[in-house]
Amino acid sequence: MKKLAKQTAVFSGLALAGVMFSNVAMADLFIYNGQHKNSGVEKAAKLFTEKTGVKVELKTGKSAELAGLLKEEGMKSPADIFIAESTGPFLSLSEGDLLAKAGDEAVKNVSSVNVPQAPKEDFVVIGLRSRVLAYNPEKIAEKDLPKSWTEMANDPKWKNRFSYHPGSGALVDQIANYKKLHGEEKTKAFLKALKENGQSINGHTAALKKVDAGELDVAIMNQYYLDRLYKEKGKENVKARIHYMRNGDADSTLSFSGAAVLKASKNVKEAQQFLAFLTSKEGQEAYVSTSGEWPANSKAVSPVTYLEPLSTLNPPKTTFNSYADSEDAKKLIKEAGIQ
Ligand SMILES: [Fe+2]
C-alpha cells in the first residue's frame, strides 16, 4: 500500500482555526472520503492546502466499504483521516478501537444542542442531513402529502405513487431508527409495504428528476438533492420541492456526516488540525456550500435557502446508539428483498 511521501514545511506563528502551528514539521494527509464526489470535502481540503501548504490526498468511495477497508488494514492503514456520510461506520470503527481523539478544537467547534457528540470524542459531526419527501406542487399540494411514511406505504391511495432508493445509506439510518422506535416486527411490516407498494428507483437524483418532470408524485430522499438539481438546472427551472415530515418518527431521521482521525495515522496532530479547520466557520462554509447539508458549527452559514432551522425538524428522539445497528438494518432491508 502506498504511503505518502513526507513533506516538510515549517510554519511559524500561523494561526488557523484557533490552532497554532509553530515550527513543526508537517506531513501530507491521506483521507479516505466516503462522501459523494464533489461533496465539499474537496473544496475544504483545497482551502486547507492553500492556507497551510499541507497537501491533502483523497481516496473516495462508499462510506461502509471504506470503513470495511480500514478494519482490514487496522494499524497498517495508510489513511490519516476518515470522512463518511453516516454515523454507523464511525461507531463500528470506534468500537474496534481504531480511532484517535478528534481534537479539542474540532469538538468545541461543533458543540451545539442540535449536534450529537461522539461519547469518546473520537469523531465529530461535520454536517447534518434530513430524510424528506420530494414532491411537485403542480401535481400535489403540500397539505395533501401523507403525514407518515408508514401510512403512505400501507394506504392503497398511494400505491405506486411514491419511490425509495434501495441502496441509500440514509435508508439504513432510517430503518435503524424505525426499529429502535417500533421494534423488529413493525419494521419488517413497513419494509414489506414499502417494497410492495412503492417504486424502487436507483438513485435519489433519478427519482427527483421524475418528480420534477411530473412523472412521479413523491419520492423519499435527502434534502440536499434539491440543491444539487438547482445547481444542475438553475433554480428557476426546477418545479420539485421538498417537504420536511417533522413527525418525530423515523421519517424525520437526521443522518450525520462526520470526520475522524485514525489511530494508524503517523500524523495525528496534523490530522486533528485538518478536523479543526473543517469544523471552523470557514471550513464549514466551504464544505456545506457544495454538500447542501446543515453545518455542524452553528456559526457557519449555509447558502441553501430552503434549509429550515434544525430545532424545528422534530427528528425521532433517538441517540447515536440507534445508528450503531446499521448491520442489522441492512439485513432487514435485504430480507425484505429491497437490496
Ligand atoms: Fe446521498
Give the residue numbers spanning the domain of 202. Answer: 130-252+312-335
Q: Are residues 112 and 147 in the same domain?
A: no
Residue environment code for 170-194, b if the CB has 16+ CB neighbours within 10 A, otherwise e: bbbbbbbbbbbbeeeeebeebbbbb
Q: Are residues 232 and 293 in the same domain?
A: no
Q: Which residue has the cell 429502535?
A: 180
Segment 22-74, tens digit of pLDDT: 333 445 999 999 998 888 999 999 999 999 999 999 999 999 899 999 999 99
Q: Are residues 261 and 244 in the same domain?
A: no
CA distance 156 to 159: 5
For residue 294, how far is its CA from the centre of ligand 1 (angstroms)?
14
Residue 7 located in a structural domain: no
Q: Are residues 213 and 225 in the same domain?
A: yes
Question: What is the structure's pLDDT at 13?
Answer: 34
Residue 1 located in a structural domain: no
Question: What is the structure's pLDDT at 7?
Answer: 36
For residue 270, how far is its CA from the centre of ligand 1 (angstroms)?
29
CA distances from 220 to 49, 72, 225, 231 (A): 37, 34, 11, 20
Question: What is the structure's pLDDT at 321?
Answer: 74
CA distance 25 to 304: 38
For residue 86, how far is its CA from the centre of ligand 1 (angstroms)?
10
| Element counts in the chain: helices (H) and strands (E) | 13, 12
For residue 23, how far is its CA from the centre of ligand 1 (angstroms)?
40
Q: Are residues 245 and 196 in the same domain?
A: yes
Q: Are residues 147 and 186 in the same domain?
A: yes
For residue 205, how far is its CA from the centre of ligand 1 (angstroms)?
9
Q: Are residues 24 and 88 in the same domain?
A: yes
User: Which residues in the chain show pLDDT less than 50?
Assistant: 1-26
Q: Are residues 25 and 104 in the same domain?
A: yes
Q: Global pTM? A: 0.87
CA distance 293 to 83: 14
Residue 301 located in a structural domain: yes
Q: Are residues 207 and 319 in the same domain?
A: yes
- Based on the structure, what is the number of domains in the chain? 2
Cell of 164: 425509495
Question: What is the structure's pLDDT at 25?
Answer: 43
Q: Are residues 229 and 258 in the same domain?
A: no
Question: What is the structure's pLDDT at 114?
Answer: 86
Cell of 23: 515550527
Pair 96, 200: CB distance under 8 Å: no
For residue 222, how far is its CA from the centre of ligand 1 (angstroms)?
7
Q: Are residues 35 and 155 in the same domain?
A: no
Bridge-based pairing of strands 81-84 and 56-60 is unpaired
CATH classification of the domain holding 50: 3.40.190.10
Q: Are residues 141 and 265 in the same domain?
A: no
For residue 282, the one-letter residue type is: E
